Amino acid sequence: MQKAEFLHLHMLMFYIKMCFEGITNDEIRTGRYNSLEISPFHIHKDKNAHQDALFTLADEIVSYIYNRKLPAVTFSYESAPPRVAAEQ
């Protein structure tokens, strides 16, 4: 992956954390991520730093959700929108 792609994914993961916290009114503790002292806005940092930050943040979010034992989301085909034709 290119640096720009890691930056984009880092931003998305950061946004997921913010949205989740906003919806649940719970704080996801991200001590390891915070100790890296990098945010998606630090575009001057190298690709590896953003890769480490992305994976660390993702791991802490998933661990938080797993430890909270949140209910699984179920999917019903009846609730899905009808198929849409798409051009190739």
Higher-scoring residue by pLDDT: 23, 35:
35
Alpha-carbon distance of 29 to 85, in angstroms, equals 43
In the chain, the domains with their CATH numbers are: 3-68 (1.20.1270.110)
Instruction: Specify whether the CB–CB gap between 57 and 11 falls below 8 A.
Output: no
Q: How does residue 63 score in pLDDT terms, banded at 50, 70 and 90?
A: very high
Instruction: Specify whether the CB–CB gap between 28 and 61 falls below 8 A.
Output: yes
> Could you say which DSSP state residue 27 is in?
P
Q: How does residue 65 score in pLDDT terms, banded at 50, 70 and 90?
A: confident
Higher-scoring residue by pLDDT: 16, 69:
16
| pLDDT for position 86 | 55
